[in-house]
Structure 1
Amino acid sequence: MLDFVQAADGLSELATAATSDAAQFEEQRMRKDEITKLVDSGLDELNDALKKGQSDHLTRLFAVMARFTHYSFNNCLLIAQQNPDATRVLGFHGWRKLGRTVRKGEKGIGITAPIAYRKEKTDDQSMEIRGFRVVHVFDIEQTEGDELPSFKQPTGDCNAWLERTEQLIVSKDIELRYEELKRGCYGYSAKGKIVIQSGLSDAKRLATLLHELAHELLHQRQVDLSESPSRTIRETEAEAVAHVVGRALGLETCEHSADYIHLHQGDSEVLAKSMQRIQKCSGQILSELMNAEPLPTESAATPT
């Protein structure tokens, strides 16, 4: 699988990484307060860039988010600040399990991992989160050793994902239809229904399907409408999800520019919440696209 479903990566690996017995890395460990400051400074830098009308900073961050959709937005932000070119990361012990070792003198990438405890007074094995800890991971370029097994990679072909995306939409009890829409309208969602302009190219159709699916997951099913973001932010979030998912699938489908500048509305807190929603929704869609069982072909709408 791609980086967002890396073998040997997960909460247990992150927790193990924090207890590394590699003495040469001890002096390089980051503290919680340093991590907090790094997140805050990264968000401020992003917000400042957007205020100045510069969306390149955000686009580069989206590239990191596309490679690490199984991570939280904060951790993607931390990776982007410390090693923006990272492609696959694991902790010290995680790499050892794969037959690779971290080269001496390499500096770890500080991120956070949840501290999980078994719930008290319950008979099941469920866990609850009681805070976070700082752990350190290393990019594959910081390691040496055995060649990694070849993971299944997305094809980078729109056709390979069009039907699966349509099937995913239908599996969520969302009606999918193709119709002639007014000029300039590629599609829309309306609480349980997605309508796509007929006759679109495969690339544009996939981008529009992902955009409208993001609307359904992020906005149309929102119970508390008082918490709903502005229309501008909703549109930008949906376009950003399509962008991140497309990049993660190795597609050039969603590379067209979007008006990311309006995402923040000049408010760092609004920006942070929006980015968290984008990352969570992107990860959900990618996970389901990569792992879902194929549905009968007649379940999805047929484009005209």
Structure 2
Amino acid sequence: MATAQTTLSDTQHTTTNNDTADPIEINDADDIHNAVDEFTGELLDAVDNAAATGQITEYLNTLATVGASRYSIRNQIALMQQLRARDEDWTDHAEHWAGFWTWQNEHGRAVQKGADGFTILAPVTGPACPDCGNAPNYHANRPDLDCPRAGEDPGDWDFDPSEEWSDGVYYFSTATTFAYPQTEPLEDADPDDVFEPQHRSTGNDDRAADLFDALRDAAETAAFDGTGAIRVTETGRGRPGVRGSSSGGRVDVAGGDRSAADTFRTLAHEIAHELLHFDGPVPSRDVPDEVKELEAEAVAYTVARSFGFQVDGSELYVGAWLQHAKTTGVVDPDDEDDIAARDVIRDRLDEIRSVAAEIIEEIDARRD
């Protein structure tokens, strides 16, 4: 039976930042890497905080409402660039993606005739040598390979690598993925085997209270990777201007007369701190508070948006975050391309992606 998954209501749409550069054409792996470089370069070249915030917000909107959370940072940016160029009414809320045969064989759906797919990078996997990580037949003509089996013909081995070796990633190749709106049910499929998404309704306070409880349960039952149980305490109004705090194993959320939607977003923010910035009871990364706050708020923004809440991105203070990335990433002051800084930005965006996806998945696992 096909498993129904959740997606945003068709009435929920993202706001695209129209000041960003025109989308680039993506056909191969080099285009995908260029798309990532272009996006991170746009951030580094942003003339002010507002411009940078607009670009980060567009990326987070893509992450939240296009459902690319299961893809890598490179594929997310590649999808965002390609979605920019599509004049379709579904391109800002396409939650579910799969390959041509996966839709057909696993979800009871066929890709519509003439549908134009999206290019991504996919890993090519297989039995990987435990000493050098290469495929079995890679050894035969490589006597210089730093491996005990260098130069050996796999046909002469007294074991079957497919049975003895664990699978690993050989390399990445381009693949084509399709969004749910580009598919239709197979004519002869059993209706119970046809994937149909459940729609997330627009966020409201009653729903936010349920989501708060689900996230609290995930935290307190040690559901998140790398953490034990996180104690969540709801306090009164708290200090002026302070909505929550985290301290490595404990999260406090200020209540008072705040809306349930606001307290839910605050809890997501503080849980993000626990996952991003603490290793047990102590901080895990020595970065300025401004950097930590941007990353936690970016996660909270993504989580809130993904559940249908219209939230403001004005609290994403990107300027200090970018400046720290530039400083951290400096290898050669004469490097005009800022390669190292772009790598820092890409890695941090990927951490935001990973934590936001983990929180969303844990909440979904506890939803009615």
- TM-score band by shorter chain is 0.7 to 0.9
Which residue of 179, 184, 187 corresponds with 2:241?
A: 184
| Greater per-residue helix proportion | 1
Once structures 1 and 2 are overlaid, which stretch shifts more, 126-135 or 204-213?
Answer: 126-135
- Aligned match of 1:8: none
Greater mean deviation of Cα atoms: 169-178 or 88-97: 88-97
Equivalent residue number for residue 151 of structure 2? none
Q: Matched residues, percent identical?
A: 25
Match of 1:62 in 2: 60
List 4+ stretches of structure 1 deviating above 4 A: 119-126, 141-148, 222-227
Deviation of residue 256 (structure 1)? 4.7
1:20 is matched with: none
The 5 Å alignment of 1:1-304 reads: 1-2=5-6, 30-49=27-46, 51=48, 53-54=50-51, 55-66=53-64, 67-84=67-84, 85=91, 87=94, 88-97=96-105, 98-104=108-114, 106-120=115-129, 126-143=166-183, 149-155=195-201, 156=203, 157-172=207-222, 173-180=229-236, 181-199=238-256, 200-221=258-279, 227-252=285-310, 254-262=311-319, 263-265=321-323, 266=326, 267-292=341-366
TM-score, normalization: structure 2? Answer: 0.64
TM-score, with length taken from structure 1: 0.77
Cα deviation code 1:174-227 (max 9, x no counterpart): 121122421111110001111111323211110110000000000012799685
Task: Show the counterpart of 1:9.
Answer: none
Secondary structure of 1:153's counterpart equals strand
- The CA deviation string for residues 152-175 of structure 1, in whole angstroms up to 9 with x for no partner, is 333432122111111112112112
Alpha-carbon contact 1:29-1:108 (below 8 Å) kept: no
| Structure 1 residue 91, shift from structure 2 partner | 2.0
Q: From the superposition, tell whether residues 288 and 269 of structure 1 become closer, same or farther in structure 2 (CA, over 3 Å).
A: same
In structure 1, stretches of 5+ residues that fail to align are 5-27, 295-304
1:278 partner letter: I
CA contact (8 A) 2:7 2:200 kept: no
Determine the C-alpha separation between the residues in 2 that align with 1:213 and 1:29.
36
52 and 286 in structure 1: CA distance in 2 versus 1, 3 angstrom threshold: closer
Amino acid at match of 2:39: G
Judging changes above 3 Å, is the alpha-carbon distance between structure 1 residues 185 and 273 closer, same or farther for their aligned structure 2 residues? same
What stretches of structure 2 of length at least 5 have no aligned partner? Answer: 9-24, 85-90, 131-160, 188-193, 223-228, 327-340
Corresponding residue for residue 140 of structure 2: none
Aligned length, in residue pairs: 269
Change (3 A) 1:211 1:225: closer
Larger Rg: 2
Structure 1 residues 3, 77: closer, same or farther in 2, change over 3 A?
farther
C-alpha distance in 1, partners of 2:49/2:231?
41
Distance 1:235 1:175 in 2: 20
In structure 1, distance between residues paired with 2:6 and 2:348: 25
